Amino acid sequence: MRDGCAACGACPVGPPLARPERELPSYGRAFLIVATGVLLVFTFAVATVAALFERESLAFDARALLRAAEAAAWRLKWLALPFSMLAAWVCARACAGMRREPARFVGLRAARAGFALTLLVAVSLSTLIAVTIPERLRQRELSRRAAENALLYAGDQALHKYRLRFGTYPASLSDLRKLDDPDCSIALAVAAMDAGKYAPETDLASLSTGRSKGRGARRTSAVRVRNASALSTDDLSGAGLSLTNYELVLPGRDRILGTPDDLTIRDGVIFETPRHVSPPSNLASNRNSKER
């Protein structure tokens, strides 16, 4: 600089200024650390109060405050949680630098208090979010189960409408298209049930009269016809056959029929585990012989 500035041509007019005998220490770091901690605490407190007033019944007991804090932590998980962790790391390094050079920086105690507030918010958010994860997973499972049950009940409602109209369950799902469908709800139910397995059933009573050792006797035998989907509704009405039961099996979340997560409803009752299990060959032959 003694030779002057090459860009503008400025030249020095005297020797450089001497350093002052006393330099005031800086308080900027301490102020920033305290402001960061107070800002995080204020944000979390405002979110908690907002969640508390959103509840149906306003209460200020420990359980209500805990629930409100959990809701606030879950809302701030993508904003305040990463910011608090990053701020805690930065504040820790800043406090370490202030401790190494106490002559240049003042307010170490205040900086430590601000760092404690930042660390407290980060730990509190992490703990409250971790506590709510099992319950939220359970709620998510319940919502999935409700959606699956709604699909089964929609199919049951369509089948029930058909039975009210024709006095029997349909022999096949394609017969449901005979119903009036102004809102296309039946079409949506049929489209969802096409990927599953529908098995209507009926009970037939055959009456025969005869005499046995001089005494008249009336004998009634009940025969159950399963898997009558090969029949049609016209054939059923002409033959006097009425389908009185049904079983509907839909694929579960894996979209594959015949797996343990299949959805099963039978006569309007939903089963947790699928009942449509093919029996062994010997048991199936014995049951068929008994039915015959």
CA quadruple 12, 14, 19, 23: dihedral sign: negative
Q: Which residue type is seen at 73?
A: A
Please provide the size of the chain in residues.
292
Task: Give CA–CA dist 97/102, Å, rounded.
Answer: 9
* Amino acid letter, 24: L
- Look at residue 127 in the predicted model and tell me its pLDDT: 95
Residue 210's φ and ψ, nearest 5 degrees, are -170, 170
What is the structure's pLDDT at 273?
Answer: 57
What's the confidence (pLDDT) of residue 231?
Answer: 47
In this prediction, residue 244 carries a pLDDT of 86
pLDDT value at position 241? 66
Give the model's pLDDT for residue 213: 44
Per-residue pLDDT of the chain (292 residues), as tens digits, is 567 777 787 887 777 778 777 778 889 999 999 999 999 999 999 999 999 888 777 778 888 899 999 999 999 999 999 999 999 999 999 999 999 988 889 999 999 999 999 999 999 999 999 999 999 999 999 999 998 899 899 989 999 999 998 888 998 888 888 888 888 888 888 888 888 889 998 865 543 444 444 444 343 334 445 555 444 444 444 445 678 889 999 888 888 888 888 889 998 888 875 444 444 444 344 444 444 4
Q: Can you say how many angstroms the Cα of residue 69 is from the centroid of all Cα atoms in its chain?
A: 21
218's enclosing H/E stretch is strand 215-226
Query: For residue 125, what pLDDT is reported?
Result: 95
pLDDT of amino acid 43: 95
Q: What is the pLDDT of residue 121?
A: 95
Q: What's the pLDDT score for residue 204? A: 58
- Are 270 and 264 spatial neighbours (Cβ–Cβ below 8 Å)? yes
